[in-house]
Amino acid sequence: MSNLILIIDFGSQYTQLIARRVRESGVYSVVKSNNISKKELFNLNPAGIILSGGPDSMTLKKKNNLSKNILNANIPILGICYGMQLITDFFKGKVKSSQKKEFGHAIFNVGKSSKLFYGLKKGKNLSVWMSHSDKVVQLPKGFESLGSSSNTKFAAMHNSEKNIYCLQFHPEVTHTDNGKNIIENFLFRICDCKKSWTTKNIINDIITNIKTQVSNKKVILALSGGVDSTVVAALLNKAISKKLTCIFINTGLMRKNEVSEVKENISKKLGIKLITIEASTIFFNKLKNIQDPEKKRKIIGETFIRIFEREARKLKNIDFLAQGTIYPDVIESSSTGSKSEVIKSHHNVGGLPRDMKLKLVEPIRLLFKDEVRKIG
């Protein structure tokens, strides 16, 4: 079994936060949709599964149905908010619309000792964060209540035989007392995970993956000077060194001294081949008398694309285009296909000519922004 936690996303505003909290505890996490295939689940081989909350109601005629692939995987599960209600519904418990909705702070009373609440004594009150309009009114067969709030009799439950735990509140938000401890109890006491998701290990894995994917081929990167592209440049440089060429376009819209700082950091300090294009006049002329912010954004994006495209064509024998995609981009686009396929469009630089047939390398596509900063 891999040292990985699978998070099933049901549309919660907190899904990415759950993933980050798991990683902050030293365990790698991935986010997938409820329609995950049996094969993909098998290949991931997670140590545990977390079901996120979501905006939908269990009282709707067209409601989500929890995938049997997930519940039949014989893997520890933690259902949060809507995830708890889905589990209740699946195992023939009852969920009803609550006359009194709970949004915000609530007091949760620990009703029973369990692995999930290790370190919290029975009877202890916690200030927690609720966000639900439905609630469990009858537990499924085989489940026990673990606690309640003033408005919700069953605010936590578990089935020890099936290793399923459920919370009506959100342990991932900072407003919940002991939320971090509850999540870590699930990770380390229930799923038996190990702390292996460290900055050092992440860097080593990324460099190894780049070497495997790129081998001795050449790579170009559109360098903006921002955190993402600069970290990508540094990682590629460690992995393939002189096979990397960065193209930096001075739009004239940079911060004071930023152009010279980019040159200093990339070219002189890191020793990366850097092509700098002075395009200030071009951008200023195209933006002249344009007032609408959206039009400005489109003009800047289109102009950048065309200039990058022109310069990229001048380079010979380029096989890969590097991109600073980060994990929120992957989650939000619900991408499931391979990213190593021949590139037709590129969400950062807008699209390169199809006849260039560049493959994509995305070294930080599985990282959150705060993880990218730590690596930097």
Residue 233: in which H helix or E strand, if any? helix 227-240
Distance, CA of 8 to CA of 15 (rounded, Å)? 8
Name, in order, each residue with C-beta under 8 angstroms of 203's C-beta and a sequence gap of 6 or more: 235, 375
Dihedral of alpha carbons 48, 186, 83, 326, sign: negative
Active-site pick, 81, 166, 191, 193: 81
Single-letter code of the amino acid located at 20: R
Distance, CA of 26 to CA of 199 (rounded, Å)? 10
Active-site pick, 102, 166, 172, 246: 172
Tokens standing for residue 320: 């890969």
Write a three-state SS string for 182-205. Answer: HHHHHHHHHCCCCCCCCHHHHHHH
Distance, CA of 207 to CA of 234 (rounded, Å)? 10
Tokens standing for residue 19: 């993933």
Active-site pick, 132, 158, 170, 362: 170
Name, in order, each residue with C-beta under 8 angstroms of 70's C-beta and a sequence gap of 6 or more: 8, 34, 36, 41, 49, 51, 77
Q: Is 166 a catalytic residue?
A: no
Q: Is 371 a catalytic residue?
A: no
Q: Is 170 a catalytic residue?
A: yes
86 neighbors 10 (Cβ within 8 angstroms): yes
* Three-state DSSP class for residue 255: coil
Residues with catalytic function: 81, 170, 172
